[in-house]
Structure 1
Amino acid sequence: MLFQDPNAKEEIKRQHDLLWRERWGRLPLTMLGIALTTIYLPLWIALVIGIMVLGAEIASMRYMRALDPRRHPARYLFVIFCTFVMELFFSLSAALIWQVDDDYAKPFAVGIIMVTLMQIISARTIHMAFGYVGFTAVALVTLVGNAVYWLGFDDYLGLGVSTLAANAVLIYTLIAMHSNNTLHRTAALDRKAALASNNAKSRFLAQMSHELRTPMNAILGMGHAEQRRAKDALSQNRLAVLISAAEGLSTILDDILDMSAIEAGRLPIRTERVVPSTEVLAVANLFQPAITEAGLALTHKIDPQLGKEWLLDPKRLRQCMSNLLSNALKNTQDGGIHVLADLASDASGAPQMRIEISDTGPGVPSHLHRSLFAPFSQAYRPLGGTESNGLGLSICRTMARQMGGDLTLAGNTEGQSGARFILTLKLGLPDVTDSPASVAQATQIPYPAAATTGLRVLVVDDIATNRLVASTYLRMLGAAMIEAESGAKALEIITTSCPDLILLDMNMPEMNGLQTLARIRSLPGPLAKIPVIAMTANAMAEHRAEYMASGVDGYLAKPITPARIEAEIKAVLDKKGRARSD
């Protein structure tokens, strides 16, 4: 049974890790204890005991590493033997001192035995076989040494009483060993279950993110297409709100994929050249319909200095503002919500954007001020009880601080004064040597097509919606589009009509993207060198690395946008052009 226990390998590893972690405290104290036995024992006996204990300990630690009893039975038995020798010789010092005729010798000997038993209970019972062996050695030495002492005086009463006391201690030790082993097993099982649950959660979120990217791709694609065709300002504004909301959901999908960053409270910050006033107005426009429907007024005042280009992360700005406006809408019944954005500076004089979002609700009770930004805190709700605030404010504060600012609750009191949240974000100065960035307004999206005009692009995707979105974008960019619903169909088209570029979905049935790519690269002549861009809902970092290593020339994670598809096509064609010139 010792060699067939399926948990033995894992238990021995945890046993080894514990002993190794504590070695610099445990081994010196063991040697100190043996050195103190020279008070009652000859030096040579203490040296022999020390050598045997230390040698057995070092040998057991060495051979316990990566030990699997089912694969290494002889090594396993050797470690058990070393454990027995180590505990036997350490206990032997106590048995020898017990024989010494001195008032303090026996308490000293009892102390050594008790320390040994405690050490077995605490550090040797993760794998019970080691605990049993050590316990057997201590019990054997204790009972034999006690019997030798009392029989030397022919005192059978003393032998009986002391043996009974020793057995009581040994029985209690066995009970404690089993209890500690149960605790170790339970903790290990709970940890394994927690890891499995966390992995399942991560897989679920990644799968949901993958599944949501296809409809999100369609929403963004059709939104961009209709916005480009819309002639009147009202339609363009409405479509801009739709696109902004879809891009916000796309950002959330990206965050879901980076679970380690979310759990550590460190989401990636990507600064761009943007006009802050445009971003603030875009979020306000997004919430305007819901605020109006609730019978509230939304007013805003924006510093004209925020109407020029600055460096910041627009997605994180929109995410923070959306959370604050959503909370204000939930907690306001009468009056309205006011957004004030102006240019400020931090303590060092660096430029900051300061956004104040205030409402006319009842405000936040004073007893919730300190816990308001804690994860899963309870936010005040005017009508009936509390409402979980989840991670919204906590994540927003984390993001604000990563961007050199902060999120605070200021000047709010219960009653009519409402709540005032102040969001500050550090603004970077654009490099004057850079060419001016083309910044999209809330109602405008640029569609430059210099690199794509006249290109013949093959779009390979088994989902018709994705092909429609890609064809819409490519036509905006002046390219000609050929469709293929499978890898096999794509190969037929390539051999009969050599396209300039291929957008290839990686998750197709029958012949997936990687298999299709391998077939393309095996085609004769120039067909094998056609640039291929992976277009996929697999948006994790490891997916990108896998696809790039397989031989694709570029990578697009869904949902795609006109700007992203054009930028990737330009990058791939530029890279191919440089390779040809070299």
Structure 2
Amino acid sequence: MKHSAHLPQSDLPDNVLRTVDPSRFRTILIVTIGALMIGLYVLADRLAARTEEDALHRLARSHADLLISFRNFYSSRLLPIVREHSKLMITHDYKSRPGALPIPATMTLDLVDEIARSNPEMNLRLVSPYPFPWRKVTLDAFETEALAALQASGKDEFLRLEDAPGGKVLRYAAPIRLAASCVGCHNVHPDSPKRDWKEGDVRGIQVMSLPLEGLSYDSHPQHFLFATLLLLVFAAAGGALIWLHGRNVHAVLLAQANAEALRDRQRALDAHAIVSITDEAGTILYANQQFCVISGYGPEELLGRNHRILKSGVHPDTFYRELWETISRGEIWEGEICNRKKDGGLYWVKSTVVPFLDRHGRPRQYIAIRTDITARKAVEAELIAKRTEAEAASRAKSAFLANMSHEIRTPMNGIIGMTDLALDTDAEAERQEYMKIVKNSAESLLGILDDILDFSKIEANKLMLEHVGFGLHQTISETLRTLGPRAGQKGVELICDVAGDVPQYVLGDPTRLRQVLINLVGNAIKFTASGEIVVTLAVEAQTDAAVTVQVAVRDTGIGIPADKLDSIFEAFSQADQSTTRRYGGTGLGLSISSRLVELMGGRMSVDSEVGKGSTFHFTVLLGLDATPVTPPATEPLAGKRVLVVDDNAVMREILRRQLAGWGMQATAAGSGAEAQDLCIRHDCRPDLVLIDQQMPEMDGLTLAAWMREQPDLRSTPMLILSTGPLKNDAERARGLQLNGYLTKPLTDVDVLQGVKRALGMDMAAVPSRAQAAQPRAAERVLDVLLVEDNPVNQQLAIRLLEKWGHTVTLAVHGREAVGRLGAGERYDLVLMDMQMPVMGGIEATRLIRAHEAECGLARVPIIAMTANSMQGDRELCLEAGMDDYLSKPISQVELVEKLRLFSPPLPARDSMQA
């Protein structure tokens, strides 16, 4: 059904509109025709009657049919016209509301009452077992029986003859069935006695009682007269009204033509646009279907409401003020507005608001015609967001480049400055100090370049991960131990907590795992001034072939603002990018670490609160090494009593849990004074004491000295826990007969080894790989062909090789190397640079291998040296015939390992001579 309020008046002259009401005229015509039909129906029914009883039956049925027909005519033809063309209220209480019309049921009931009063012999009633609250009806026996029969049988009438005081009476009942148009109203009306009505349900019955004796059209002509008079009255009234309006027939037809044209224009407008009409205050008088659809409101929710119901809050108050000022002046306003739907969603429209002016030129109504531009605005917003994102990325990269310039220049300044100082001094100790600073600065610079290179590898999808067996606990311990001194210098406790079910040996990439840990723990140390940093490892999931390990790095540092948490893993992003920030860094570390974790089958996240610290979580998927592992022998430790003295509560709890897992009885003290009190009161008689060195008020060595003075503790084994070497405290420690030192952070393996060593137990029981280590190749002096074009790299490599006793021959490019080997020169090893003028390393290696194959010569080992370390470089070298690969800058340790690996074995006689 179309829902709308009145459209504005047409352009007809006011006098025509006052004298002609097309809808009323049409209603009068329909009523008149209906009255004629009713009269004809009565007359036809009379002519069809044959007997007195048959006449009564036909009379009752005709009255019932007439009432039902008139009710249906009223419901389906008259009321829709009223609803569409007037604001008249339709209610059961129409008598007390001026200008209101009755609902169909009330109209029928009142009509029946009127007929019953004017024709008491008919005894006409309408009854229902489901009355509305304002009607009270009592059914007699016939009515109850008739209602049940009509509901059950679906028939259209129920009748029988009954005895009455005046003689026999024909009792007749006809059903009042619910029309389809009435079902919805009955089911939602707040006073409805039922809420499950269906079309065709018997809502009630019409009951007539007609006396059999003497009642017919012949014996009682008043009934025939009543029908005839009813016909004449309707006909006369209709004719009079037609005559009265006939004088304005032309105006009526013109009004109807204009109304039809207006409706056609309205339908065309409604099909395309969103239309509403308001009064001068903004109250909605009309809203078309498009308006209802886009806003989500029904017509009844919009009509009579102010247009502010759609206010979205997107525009400032000045926007709406300027709009109203424009239309209040009688001017047309055009613009784009964001409105809010009923469900809270937003939509955009392009709107034109046109004022309708009265005779004085003042707005009396406003019509707004809109088109939906939500999709266009979404595209615009997306483009703006992308542009903003691109601009932000550009700013971030600019900030990154500025930061990188600072980060690179800082170590370069140290390298150049300290080198100048070293060259100007003759003091060897001073020179050594300068060169240490040079080395540290160079390593810092190398770390920056490594970050950039790793990021480039990841972006190019060329980062290669290893899949080798390694000791997980050992890797974690060694990685954290290298960071321990940095934490110790700041007075920050670095703690490692590895769950007991975390596997000892796994398959994966230990180098990249170490890189992620160094970045996260290094950041934690950088941003933590006091407190603790705790690294925890636990098993998240495990199968027969793989394990997912969850790692958390928690600190008590400065924390990260909530609005930075979503972007902290993005490239070139830092929580603070200002040029005067306190902390340095490339802004790539977390991005690289996050991507590395993803490549290792895991994910990374962070929880943080400013001023309270941060916790970085990540998982890695590792294979399980199938190599048998000898389990640790902890049975001799069962029942041993241990006193743990550490001021850090987390460290105490971790040690207590580890010791308890081996069957030991651990007692913890948070300070030296508390430990003394336990010993004096004999609450603890330990077989072993673990003492933290860095404690406030009383340090570990002071407590150990006091214990050595106690008769029952003089020979008790003691282990000192420290974040680094004792340095100045070494002399104090010598006389205390300590049983060892454990450097924090500690893993369970570290603690187990230290405890066993202190208690004098067999160290063979410590977990170890079942397979024996492979023996190294015998070391010997090598003849090395160095193929390198850069003078500095030439000098560095020659000095290193000669320092280790090897003989070096230099070739400045690949062609020279091919020429030397082609001329019959033999070498134990070739170090081949990749990028060289004249001929590069790849081409040179292919020619060398081809020459060896052609001449049947023994294969000389060739190791590539390159500043490139992208995925595929190693494969390219091996494909060309090289044997291994070294990345520049060359690590002395890696170079020594390669020399050992590719050294030819010593001849048997050399071995016997040795």
More helix by proportion, 1 or 2? Answer: 1
Return the TM-score normalized by structure 2.
0.29
Return the TM-score normalized by structure 1.
0.43
Determine which structure has greater relative contact order: mean sequence separation of CA pairs < 8 Å that are 6+ residues apart, divided by chain length.
1
More strand by proportion, 1 or 2? Answer: 2
The structure with the larger Rg is: 2
